[in-house]
Structures are given as structure tokens and as C-alpha cells.
Structure 1
Amino acid sequence: MKRVATLFAGALALVTTNATAQDSAAPVSAAAAPATPAAKAPAPKLIVTISVDQFSADLFAEYRNHFTGGFKRLLGGAVFPSGYQSHAATETCPGHSTILTGMHPARTGIIANNWVDLKTARTDKTVYCAEDESVPGSSSIAYTVSDKHLLVPTLGERMKAANPASRVVSVAGKDRAAVMMGGHQVDELWWWDGKKFVSYAGRTTPAVVQQTNDAVVARLAMAQPAMAMSAFCSAHDRAIDIGGGKTVGTGRFERKEGDTRAFRASPEADEAVFAMAAGLVRDMKLGKGPATDLIAIGASATDYVGHTYGTEGSEMCLQLTQLDETMGTFFAVLDSLGVDYEVVLTADHGGHDLPERNDQHAVPGAARIDPALNPKAVGDAVAAKLGLTGQLLYGDPVGDVWIDSKLPKRQYDAVLAEALALYRAHPQVAAAFSRAEIMAAPVATGPAETWTLVQRAKASFVPARSGDIVVALKPRITPIPDPTKGYVATHGSFWDYDRRVPILFWRKGMAGFEQPLAVETVDIAPTLAATIGLKLGAPMMDGRCLDLDASAGDSCR
């Protein structure tokens, strides 16, 4: 692995060297063919759950024939190219909350990355999904990471309840990814805080976490030269003008020393996460104990690359090809440790390319949002019409919008009616629903692609947290009015380019197959539970078990 050896001589390369030296089991190459399956294999000793943030089904389809490393190995297993994060709130926190709980956000309680609580005691009324807002002096930006808002158990928690000998580890490039996949009871939980990998206060730092942090600090102290451009990625190497004299689409992750923001939006960040994950597997001897263990890995760099550069430039091509290589080395480390493991890989949501590049590809309807759709601007228009004063609406231009909770009922009803009328009349809005309309809608039961917009909204609606109005923009409307001031592209819509993600299962000996029909990310946890023979009780999961391969012991029957 040429690039990783260069970037992380003290991290992933160190882990690989140590792991190989400590265990004489013969490694399997990253693209090795499955062995002949046994009549019925026992439960795997380690579950490896990987979430690639913003890895849409569209990106998977675009790149799958070019993978040569970790992704290629997974393509030899059970492939579900049309998995769904079925809900409307296609953001990082809600999406990660579905993967190992088996429940939609309406039950996990995670309705968005952030929501508004106008009744909270602190000045900042925004609540971050993975914070404890009761901590004195905290805000939704300067927060204490917490699992308190996740209302249901994860698979790892259920495993530990059934057998306390099971170990659960969660590591990610984002705190919300680590928390939502790990849950409330974890043995190790680590995330990148912008400068280093950290955990909850009072936890002892394992040696491999310190080694990874030291390697990252050393790496950040050096400028990063541009990555070499492969022939395949050269086809994506085209400058896209976003205004203000700025372009995207030709980046190669050149970085100045000390630039942690650029580090986060580059393949380097995922390399660090996988290096630490491999070291924790090695040092904790995960998969070698009396019970099945679980490690959840949140690879967050693809999301930052998508936001910063879009999904169709040289940047995303280099990111995905390097991630493929990084995962190949990670799997080789696990092979060298002699661990019997099963992998599932998916994503928390998809993504949408920037409208300026979509324009060049003649994608119909691609545009940036009208600033008049900002909730404050809509609220000001409502206030002017009704003769009211003060801020009436709170929230983001897409998704949940909250009405001032101090309004008397008659004024609340008038504001609701007028705001709904303004949203619905706007040419960039596909639909706007009141909370009463969402709560009255039937729960969706059919395939995710058939769900109505209001059913998608209902799947991520929690009455105690959600807005008074939920707004769905039309397809290809990007809720970033000015790309020159920050991110250029995003996700979070009701549409399938944000909802559809791949779901890939792999285990040595599994008979590979592909199932093109729609499944859901909530199906992952019950499928893994069946794999390890874990009986599920209350609370029941929303997902169903996917019958992967009876010969490898993964039958749902």
C-alpha cells in the first residue's frame, strides 16, 4: 500500500507490521476468492461494520468496476446495490442511528444532525444530536459529546446484554458516527475532534490511539504534496467555476502544514481511522474471546470531500480509490490475525453533486436555493402579512421548521397556515407538511422507493423534537445559496440520490450473489443478529433479516 506507507509509517504501517509479527496465520490478499464453504459455519467471532459517509448508490455504481482492494473483496459477497436510508432526514446522525439499531429515526429519536428546542433553558436553542445540552456553558457548537438523545439500543448493546463477554468498539472521523453506531454501552469509543482522536472524559487512552494521534500530529507538521493522478481519475479532472474566482474538480489533496481542515477532507483521515481500528482489534484481541465482538468504523472523509469539492471531480475519484486501498490493507491485517470476521459496509446517506457541474451535464432542475426560503426570511414575510413582530420561524431551509412556541394558539394557527402557503407556492418547493399531516399519515410498509413524501417525512419524525413544518425541496435544489463561502454541495433531501446507499456483506466462505431489489439499512442489524444467533426481544426492530447464505451459517430461518 504505497501511499499509506508514506503517510502513516507510524500508524497503519506500524499496525500491519506488528499484527503480522504477532500472528502466524496466513494472510488473505485483499481480493482473494472465497474458500469452499463448509456445510454450516459457526457464528463469526467478530462483526465489522463500516459506514462510508456520503457513499451513495450512484457513486458505488460509478466506481464498482474500478475497485481493486477492499471494495473488490466485498463485491465477492452479498451485494445489495439498492439499500435505502428510507427516511427524509438524509443526514449523518439519523443515518448512522439506523445502521446498528435496526430502527428508523422516528424511533431512534435522531431526527436530524441538529434540531431546535425553543424551550431549552440555554441561550442557544439549537440542540446537536450527540450532545448533552444540560452541561452548563455548553452550546450546539461547543458541546459535550453524549449518547443521551439515542432512544434505543444498538446491536452491540443487545450483544452485551445477552453475553457480557462481548466487546463493542466504535471509532469514526465524526463523534456522531461513533456514538450512533456504538450506542450507550461500549468498551472503546473514539472520534476525531478536529485535532486528534478523543473519547469521553475520564477514559484511559489505549496505546494504539496514542500511536495514531502521534502519527497524525507528525504528519500534520509536514506539508502534503499532491497525489498522483491515475489515468482513470484523469477523466474526472475538470475545473468547475463556482464563482468568486474559485474552482473545484481538479484537486489532488495538496495540503499546507498544520491544515487540519484539509486533512479531514482527504484520504489521510480515513487512513488514520482504519489504522486505529486495526490496532484496537489487535491489542484488544477482538474476535479471540469467548463471545462474538463488534467493531463499528465510521469512514467520514468521503462526506467532507463531497461537501468541499462535490461528488464528480478528481477529488472524489482519488478519495474512493484510496479508500479502496486502505480497506484492502485493513482486511489483510484482520486476516493476518487469524480472526473469523464478517463485514457489512453501507452509508449513512447519499449525496448530490454541485449544480454548476450538473449544469454542464445538462441535469434538469439543478439550481441553488433561493435565499428567500430561509426560515427567518419566510417568517419575516409572514410577520409582515399578519402584522406580527419578532422572529416567527426557526430551522434550516430544508427539513424541519419550528414556529415560535410563545405564540397564542390563534396566532400560531395563522402563522402555520400562512407559512405553509408561502412554502407551497414557491417554485423550488416540492411539498410542505404540517406536523398534524405527518402524524396522520400511515406508516409506510412497502418497498422504500414507493414511499410517498409524507411517509418519508414520518419515518424521521419525533413529535417531541420535530418541527411544526417539514419542507421538501424539489429534486436537485441545493440548499447552499453561495458556494464561495464554504461547502459547495450537500445532501439531506427526500430524494433517492440521498436515500439510496449500497449494502455489502462479506465473510470468508460466503457464496457471493447480488440482489437488485430495494432493501433498507434497518435490515442490517436483524441480519447480523441472525448471523450470530442472537434472539431479538423488545424493542422490536423495524428491519427484516436478509437471508445471505445458509451454507455460511447466515440463514434467517
Structure 2
Amino acid sequence: MKNTKLLLSFLLACTVTISFGQRRKKDIIEVQSAEVIAQKPKLVVGIVVDQMRYDYLTRFWDQYGEGGFKRLVNEGFNCKNHHFNYAPTSTGPGHTSVYTGTSPAMHGIIGNDWYDKESGKMVYCAGDASYESIGTTSDAGKMSPHRMLTTTVTDQLRLHTQQRGKVIGIALKDRGAILPAGHSANAAYWFEGGATGNWITSSYYMDALPQWVVDFNASDAVEQYKKPWTTLKPIETYVESGTDANSYEGLQKGETVNSFPHDFPKIWEANGEFDILKRSPYGNNITTDFALAALEGEDLGKDAITDFLAISFSSTDYVGHFYGVNSKEIEDTYIRLDQDLARILTTLDEKVGKEAYTVFLTADHAAIQVPAYLQDQKIPAGYLDMGGMKAKFDEFLKYKYGTTDVVKNLSNYQLFLDHKILSNLDIDLDDAEEDIAKELLGYDGIGQVYTGHQMWTNNYTKGIANILQNGYNQKRSGDVLLVPNPGFISYSRTGSTHGSPQIYDTHVPLLLYGMGIKQGSTVNRTEIPDIAPTISALLGMAFPNGTTGKPIGEVLEFD
């Protein structure tokens, strides 16, 4: 009996010990889980560098300081083989795809502007006449994201935090601010330029500018950049670009040569006053100044609830279009942008905390080398003769259908046919698409042609056809899709452009840095729609509702 009592006492003690131990272990696990859940960045900063090719990171590496691009690469994660998986590669679709986690086939932003089949007119990706301009008497503020069909990672943050997390979008270009900020943003601001040089917004977001914006516009923050554009460093050190004065670059109104220095005060009025700053690194300086003012004015990253600041640097695109990929101007612009990035990171360290924020940097598209320059290097390249093509194509249409009216519009390398006229002529749409495609494939500079019927009925998994299909929205896109040969564009003979499915337009950087991001790099292929779900996974929230990308697991660091 005594032994039995001893045994029972021993078993009871063991049970209590095990129970306590299990409860303690469970408590520890719950506490650790709570810590992991609570350890979210106070602020996410999304940076899109408009028209940044991946090789700008490597070409100008020796010109960069330690605090900008190099800090992001050396202390963050570099996705070296990052691409757009669709075309057309342009600003509106690019920004939208970065933030929605999907492509134009799903989110609907198929170009900066496109032919609207219902109205029979061109529409702008962010235009919305139902709202009023705020901060200006012009129509420049009549904008909203209403044509974007899916949510963004910034929308999901607003939903996830019960609207307590702030979202602010900033860019010189309206679309570069509006589309990343999403449908439910607190604000998006863009630069009007012209005679005012003010930052403005839309009544979609607010009834009046906040005081910090009013104060910024009233200051000399923008006026200080009304000065000549000279190189930041001695021009002889700019060895990663071509000769300064050449025939591949544009010429500002009032200038006699297209080389440094560019005397902006002298040619100010002739070039739209403050608009000329967009075509220089000063536009990026202004964007940085305003973004840092927003950081303070909106109290971003001040508490444990994650905020989101979406910044787009537009001037890199303006400079690229005007001067080209190989210009001294583009090299100087990136050297100066590197300093802007360093300024942003240093301010985030001070205001938010070095271990308390996350940054990603990517681009909305890349760009082609100037074809005229490529031709001079004996590389196959050229320009589509759109005038000659139209004359030849009109002859074909008259011969085949008796009228040229069967084609309503050509934009973004897509033809929109008049389905009603074809029906009245008793011509099958699929047959018309195929006949037109065969005709256009014979024209100089055209490498491939696809039909809307092919986009509807096939599931392409690789190659150019897959890229086109990812950009093809069944309600909005055209009936015949053109793909120029590599190196061929429809553009002026000076400056660079983009828009194609070719690799020079799709290969862009993706750098991730800060809280929750590993240090390292990968050459595995990643794609633009992967960014939004990666940030969503980092924040532990639902993905944007049209997501087709996947989280890049190798960049995330979970405890």
C-alpha cells in the first residue's frame, strides 16, 4: 500500500512537471510567434526608377558612392535576372505590374494610353474627368486609378491594417504616383511643372492640399534648381558613355549644341519653364526633396503599424528618351541619382531606424540603345518607316476590302479593327485578322505578327508569344499585334525608347534591402509580378487580388 502511494505521488509529480513544461513550452512558442508577427517594418519604401536598364547598375558601378546603389547591393539582395513577362513595356503598365503582382492581361493597364473600343477614343491610363484638380487651376489633377482592375500591395496594406497604415505615392509623372498608390491610398502627388513648378493632386484623394505640401510649394525648394546643368564630376571621368556632342541625342530648344553645359536659365521659357527640369537629374532631386518632406509631413514610419511610401523617379526616363542610353547625360543622371538614394537611406536611418524599414528598387521598363548608334557599330537595327508602311497597307486594305475603314486605330503596336464594318462586308473577323497579319509580316522591320484569335485560343508558355499574351487583355487589347525585329523601333532618330517584348526592354534591376531581407544575390529568373507577393509575404498579409506572380522566397529572412 505504501509503495502504491509512493508510485501515485511520483506519477502526479511527473504529470505536473510535464504539464508545466508543456505549458511553458507552449507559452514560449506563442511569445516567439507573437514577436515574429510583431516584427514588421514600420515603413516600406518602394522605388521605381523609370527606364532603368539592369546594366546601368554595373556600367556606372565605379562612379557610385558607398551609400546608394552599392549599399542596396552589398547589404541587400540583388536579383540579377529580373524581367518583365509581358509587353508593351511602358510606364503605366510597368508601375501597375510592380504593385499588383500581375500583368496587363489581368490588371487592365495595357499602355500609357490606348484605344477604347466602347468610346472609339484614346484614353489615358490615369485620366478621370469626374474628379477635380487640387493645387492647380489646370486639368492636370483630373486623375484617378479607376482604370486599374485589380488591387495593389498598397491596397492590401490599407485593408490589412484597417486603414491605419498610410500609403503615399510620389512621382513627377501622375501615373507614376497614382497607380503604385492603389485605389485606397491616403494620397498621390505629382509635379505640374510649367510656370508654377508645384506639386498637385486630385479630388479623388482630398479636398485641399495638406499644409506641408502648401509650405513646400511656397518655398524655394524647386526654384533652387533653376540653374545650368553641368556634370557632377569632371566629364573626362565619364568613360562609360559616348562622346558628348553627337547626332544620336536631342537638342533642347534654344541650344546650338547638345553637349554640356546645358544653360537652363538661358533657355527656360523656350522649354516650358519648370518642365525642363524633368529632362535633367534635377527632377530626381526635386522628387527626393518632396519625398523626404512627405516622410516628415505625413509622420510615416512613426509607429508599429506599417506605412508605405511609393516613389518613382521619372527624370531617368525623360533623360533617356531625349539623350539616349549611351549619353553623358544619362551617366551624370545616374551618378546624381545614386546620391539621392544615399540621402533617402540616410534619412530613413535617422527618422525611422536602421533596422525598422524595408526598401525595394526596380524599374517600370528598360530601353533600347539608339538604333542609329547601333547601325554605326554595324549592328542590325533601324527605324520602322511608318509613313511608307501606312501607304502600302492602305493599298492592301482597298484591294482586299474596298475601304481603309476596316482599321480603326494603330497604337502600342496593335491594330484595332472595325468589327461592324467587317460584319457588314460579310467578312469573318478571324479571317481578316489572319489576312492582315500575313500582309504586315512582309513589311521591313516587322519580325512577328500575332492575331487576337491566337491570343484567345492558345495558351503560350514561352517565348515572345507568351510575353504578348501576358500583356493581352481580352476586353481592351487589339486584334492584330506587331513585333518589330530586335533593334527596330518606331521613334525619332535621337534618344532611346521602349515598349517591345525584347530583352533590352524587359531586363531591369530588382534590389531588396532592410528588415526581413537576406543579404545575397541570385541569377535565377525572377519577374516583375513577383514583387508584390514578396512584399505581401514579408508583411504577412493577403496578396493583391489578381496576383499571378509568386513570392521570391530566397530573399526573405524569417525568424
The answer to whether the aligner puts 1:127 opposite 2:123 as a matched pair is yes
Task: Tell me how many residue pairs correspond in the alignment.
Answer: 495
CA separation of 1:262 and 1:244: change in aligned 2, threshold 3 A: closer
Q: TM-score, normalised by structure 2?
A: 0.82
Question: What letter matches 1:453 in structure 2?
Answer: I
Question: What letter matches 2:210 in structure 1?
Answer: P
The answer to whether the aligner puts 1:310 opposite 2:324 as a matched pair is yes
Whether the 8 Å CA contact 2:230–2:261 is kept in 1: the answer is: yes
1:217 Cα deviation (Å)?
A: 5.0
Greater mean alpha carbon deviation, residues 386-395 or residues 538-547:
386-395
Whether the 8 Å CA contact 1:398–1:472 is kept in 2: the answer is: no
* Higher alpha-carbon Rg: 2
The answer to whether the aligner puts 1:367 opposite 2:382 as a matched pair is yes
CA distance in 2, matches of 1:72, 1:199: 34
**In structure 2, what is the equivalent of residue 447 of structure 1?**
none
1:289 Cα deviation (Å)?
A: 2.5
The gaps in structure 2 that reach 5 residues or longer are 1-34, 133-138
The alignment partner of 1:458 has SS state of helix
**In structure 1, what is the equivalent of residue 463 of structure 2?**
452
The answer to whether the aligner puts 1:240 opposite 2:232 as a matched pair is no
The alignment partner of 2:202 has SS state of coil
**In structure 2, what is the equivalent of residue 541 of structure 1?**
547
Question: What letter matches 2:175 in structure 1?
Answer: R
Equivalent in 61, 65, 75 of residue 58 of structure 2 = 61
CA separation of 1:549 and 1:383: change in aligned 2, threshold 3 A: closer
**In structure 2, what is the equivalent of residue 157 of structure 1?**
155
The alignment partner of 1:406 has SS state of helix
Equivalent in 459, 462, 469 of residue 473 of structure 2 = 462
**In structure 1, what is the equivalent of residue 89 of structure 2?**
90
Whether the 8 Å CA contact 2:534–2:553 is kept in 1: the answer is: yes
CA separation of 1:252 and 1:75: change in aligned 2, threshold 3 A: farther
| Structure 2 counterparts to residues 210-225 of structure 1, below 5 A | 210-213=214-217, 214-215=219-220, 217-219=222-224, 222-225=226-229
| Structure 2 counterparts to residues 125-204 of structure 1, below 5 A | 125-132=121-128, 144-163=142-161, 164-195=163-194, 196-201=198-203, 202-204=206-208
CA offsets 1:144-171 (integer angstroms, 9 cap, x no match): 3121110011111111111121111110
CA distance in 1, matches of 2:428, 2:191: 42
**In structure 2, what is the equivalent of residue 52 of structure 1?**
49
**In structure 1, what is the equivalent of residue 374 of structure 2?**
358
CA offsets 1:473-497 (integer angstroms, 9 cap, x no match): 01010211x43xxx63210011011
Whether the 8 Å CA contact 1:248–1:313 is kept in 2: the answer is: no
Q: TM-score, normalised by structure 1?
A: 0.82
**In structure 2, what is the equivalent of residue 386 of structure 1?**
400
Whether the 8 Å CA contact 2:51–2:320 is kept in 1: the answer is: yes
CA separation of 1:326 and 1:420: change in aligned 2, threshold 3 A: same
CA offsets 1:174-201 (integer angstroms, 9 cap, x no match): 1111111111011121012333221113
CA distance in 2, matches of 1:332, 1:194: 28
| Structure 2 counterparts to residues 481-496 of structure 1, below 5 A | 482-483=492-493, 488-496=495-503
**In structure 1, what is the equivalent of residue 259 of structure 2?**
250
1:511 Cα deviation (Å)?
A: 4.2
Question: What letter matches 1:48 in structure 2?
Answer: V
Greater mean alpha carbon deviation, residues 459-468 or residues 243-252:
243-252
1:282 Cα deviation (Å)?
A: 1.5
CA separation of 1:306 and 1:225: change in aligned 2, threshold 3 A: closer
Question: What letter matches 2:166 in structure 1?
Answer: R
CA distance in 2, matches of 1:548, 1:193: 41
CA separation of 1:509 and 1:494: change in aligned 2, threshold 3 A: closer
Whether the 8 Å CA contact 1:145–1:200 is kept in 2: the answer is: yes
CA separation of 1:233 and 1:207: change in aligned 2, threshold 3 A: farther
CA distance in 1, matches of 2:232, 2:483: 40
CA separation of 1:243 and 1:507: change in aligned 2, threshold 3 A: closer
Question: What letter matches 2:220 in structure 1?
Answer: A
**In structure 1, what is the equivalent of residue 459 of structure 2?**
442
CA separation of 1:500 and 1:234: change in aligned 2, threshold 3 A: closer
**In structure 2, what is the equivalent of residue 431 of structure 1?**
448
Greater mean alpha carbon deviation, residues 407-416 or residues 155-164:
407-416
1:533 Cα deviation (Å)?
A: 1.6
Greater mean alpha carbon deviation, residues 227-236 or residues 457-466:
227-236
CA distance in 2, matches of 1:243, 1:297: 28
Greater mean alpha carbon deviation, residues 237-246 or residues 256-265:
237-246
CA separation of 1:93 and 1:373: change in aligned 2, threshold 3 A: farther
**In structure 1, what is the equivalent of residue 422 of structure 2?**
408
CA separation of 1:243 and 1:411: change in aligned 2, threshold 3 A: farther
The alignment partner of 2:247 has SS state of strand
**In structure 2, what is the equivalent of residue 12 of structure 1?**
none
**In structure 2, what is the equivalent of residue 471 of structure 1?**
482
**In structure 2, what is the equivalent of residue 519 of structure 1?**
526
The gaps in structure 1 that reach 5 residues or longer are 1-37, 445-450
**In structure 2, what is the equivalent of residue 113 of structure 1?**
112
1:120 Cα deviation (Å)?
A: 0.5
CA distance in 2, matches of 1:131, 1:338: 34
Question: What letter matches 2:454 in structure 1?
Answer: E
The alignment partner of 2:238 has SS state of helix
Q: Among all aligned residue pairs of Structure 1 and Structure 2, give the percentage whose two residues are the same amino acid.
A: 25
Whether the 8 Å CA contact 1:170–1:181 is kept in 2: the answer is: yes
CA separation of 1:439 and 1:415: change in aligned 2, threshold 3 A: closer
The alignment partner of 2:168 has SS state of strand
CA separation of 1:332 and 1:395: change in aligned 2, threshold 3 A: farther
1:332 Cα deviation (Å)?
A: 1.1
Greater mean alpha carbon deviation, residues 376-385 or residues 308-317:
376-385
The answer to whether the aligner puts 1:79 opposite 2:78 as a matched pair is yes
The alignment partner of 1:83 has SS state of strand
Whether the 8 Å CA contact 1:354–1:478 is kept in 2: the answer is: no
CA separation of 1:243 and 1:219: change in aligned 2, threshold 3 A: closer
CA distance in 1, matches of 2:96, 2:343: 27
Whether the 8 Å CA contact 2:156–2:542 is kept in 1: the answer is: no
Whether the 8 Å CA contact 1:130–1:147 is kept in 2: the answer is: yes
